[in-house]
Amino acid sequence: MQRHYFVAKMPDEPGALHKAAEIVKRHGGNIDRIQYDKRIDPCTVFFEAHCSEGQYQMMRAELEAIGYLQGRMEVPSFLKFQVVLPHVSGALFEFLNHTTAAGCNIDLLDFDERGKHPERLTVSLTVEQPGAVDRLLERLKTLYPLEILEYDTTGQRLDDTVFYIRFAQELRRLIGEAEDAFLLRLLSDVNHVAQELMNLGKDPRQIFSDVLRSGQELRRTIGRGFYADLQELSLGEAVLLCVQLPCGGNCYLLRRGTEVTMIDTGFGIYHRDLDLLMAREGWGGMGLVCRALITHGDADHAGSAGRLKAEVWMHPDTLEVIRRSDRAYGSEIEGSVLEEVYTKLINLFSEFTIHRDPLTFPAQGMGMRGGFTVLAITEVAGMRCEVLEGFGGHTRGQVFYYLPEEMVLFTGDSLINFDSLSEERKVFATLAKNLMTTVNVDSAKASLERQWLLELVKEVESQKDEGRRCMVCGGHGAVSVLENGRLVQYGDVRRYP
């Protein structure tokens, strides 16, 4: 027995849902989830049923036979026109014979003999079958004087009786061409998120808007829309470049000579723009990156790893987060619909690519640094680097990278100078929080991570020469230092291009 999903398109009339439930019952299915909200779309119902594959296929066949199964995501055509009917008994009836035969759904009829244009009937209708509108128009033009007012095949003019179809087409614009079956599955997943959040009192329209905005902002900020904020800092014989990408996390580049190491790769969708940025800034392009270290598996930190020819290192649990496409893996909220679906959506929107042969740090520790286990000691652009294991607060498998001689700490998303974020980046960051309610898989552990990272900064500064500062390189925002318990931007930030 498996869980199977249905997207049902039902008439907005008494007994329609009852009829569908009877079909599921008769074939032995047990409905596990159902969601219908007339405020969103009066004709679409999402439900999942526990049944065998054979039972599922029989249910599908019967639902499809009565026109209840949403199996395709064709955009209905919208047509608005004025037609002159003869002023005789039965004229409207005869006209409607033609629209009914074409499978039209009438949205508006407007005629008044005492009105401004007593000779005209204004009609708005939608037609789902491809080509039916053109055939209808050809027929009507031979019978009546007719003037077309609006004709739309994009779905932009459709009303909310086809909300989900319009939404699905917006998704298709973001992820490219997709099979209808894949799109329906994705639509069902998004609706499941909406159901969960609506139960928490969220506005359903805002939920669907936030999903689309997540993808639209990424698309808007590539190519000509791409920009970044840069901080270039000297680390003795090495150079550190902090790249704040338009949406999502930072990418850090460290260079000594011609050797370039990257800490976090950014969204996959920014790979081409980041390559061009590196070339223009004198860093040679992504082809010179010989090694990449990943702090954690979120798309804005690991999403471009699969496009690199360099070796890529990460925690074993981060690799599992990526492979399972579930940022809640291994946490107390594993199985959360919100986390699982958000991971799937943001990975699709941002073109996440998995590295073909990722390398992982050992699971056993080799000592302690402050409150953190040291998993490994490696080299970054000729500098000694300690790999510190986090507690699994933001995501399981998040690690921190510490350069003890240079006093530079890369903290992933556990320590961020939020005051340094631009308003645009703050708005984008709220979309993820809106859709998951929190960006941390374990809030208590996340709080503990922040506490221990701040203690580590204070500790290393107290042990070094007076006046030397520990640079905090957070997952977002500017490279900062700790002053009076607050992170404050360190050095100048400039805009690219």
DSSP string, 73-117: -PPPEEEEEEEE--SSTTHHHHHHHHHHHTTEEEEEEE--TTSS-
Angle among Cα 149, 154, 158 to the nearest 5 degrees reads 65
249-262 burial string, b = 16+ CB within 10 Å, else e? bbbbbbbbeebbbb
State the Cα–Cα distance between residues 19 and 13, nearest whole angstrom: 11
In 3D, which of 118, 48, 44, 29 has the Cα closest to residue 82?
A: 118
Write out the two tokens for 332.
């107390």
pLDDT (0 to 100) of residue 105:
83
Does domain 2-65 fall under CATH 3.30.70.260? My reply is yes
Sheet strand arrangement including 77-84 = 104-110, 120-127, 77-84, 146-152
Q: Crossing angle, helix 180-198 and helix 337-349, to 10 degrees?
A: 140
CB 133 within 8 A of CB 151: yes
Altogether, the residues listed in the chain come to a count of 497
H/E stretch holding 134 reads helix 132-141
- Which architecture does CATH list for 77-152? 2-Layer Sandwich (3.30)
Spatial contact of 480 and 457, defined as CB atoms under 8 Å apart: no
DSSP-derived letter for residue 385 is: E
pLDDT value of position 73 = 65
Question: Domain residues of the chain, as ranges?
Answer: 2-65, 77-152, 223-496
Query: Cβ-count burial of 497 within 10 angstroms (0-12 exposed, 13-18 middle, 19+ buried)?
Result: exposed
Q: Which residues of 126-154 are buried (b: 16+ CB within 10 A; e: fewer)?
A: bbbeeebbeebbeebeeebeeeeeeeeee
Q: Which residue has the tokens 């360190």?
A: 490
The dihedrals phi and psi of 265, each to the nearest 5 degrees, come to -110, -10
pLDDT at 213: 97
pLDDT in tens, the chain (497 residues): 888 988 988 888 889 989 999 999 999 999 999 998 888 888 889 989 999 999 999 999 999 899 888 876 666 788 899 999 988 888 999 999 999 998 888 888 998 777 676 778 999 988 877 678 888 989 999 999 999 998 877 655 545 556 787 788 889 889 988 788 888 899 999 999 999 999 999 998 899 999 999 999 999 999 999 999 999 999 999 999 999 999 989 999 999 998 899 999 999 999 999 999 999 999 999 999 999 999 999 999 999 999 999 999 999 999 999 999 999 999 999 999 999 999 999 999 999 999 999 999 998 899 999 999 999 999 999 999 999 999 999 999 999 999 999 999 999 999 999 999 999 999 999 999 999 999 999 999 999 999 999 999 999 999 877 778 999 999 999 999 999 999 999 999 999 99
Tell me, yes or no, if the two domains 77-152 and 223-496 fold the same way: no
Location of structure tokens 């699905």:
168
Tell me what pLDDT residue 461 has. 93
Q: If DSSP codes are grouped into helix, strand and coil, which group holds residue 399?
A: strand
Three-state helix/strand/coil letters over 74-86: CCCEEEEEEEECC
CATH fold, domain 223-496, is: Metallo-beta-lactamase; Chain A (3.60.15)
Which token pair is 318?
């981060």
Virtual CA dihedral for 24, 34, 346, 429, nearest 10 degrees?
A: 180
CA 467 to centroid of chain Cα atoms: 43
Per DSSP, the residues of 415-444 read: S--GGGS-HHHHHHHHHHHHHHS-S-S-HH
Return the H-helix or E-strand segment holding 148.
strand 146-152
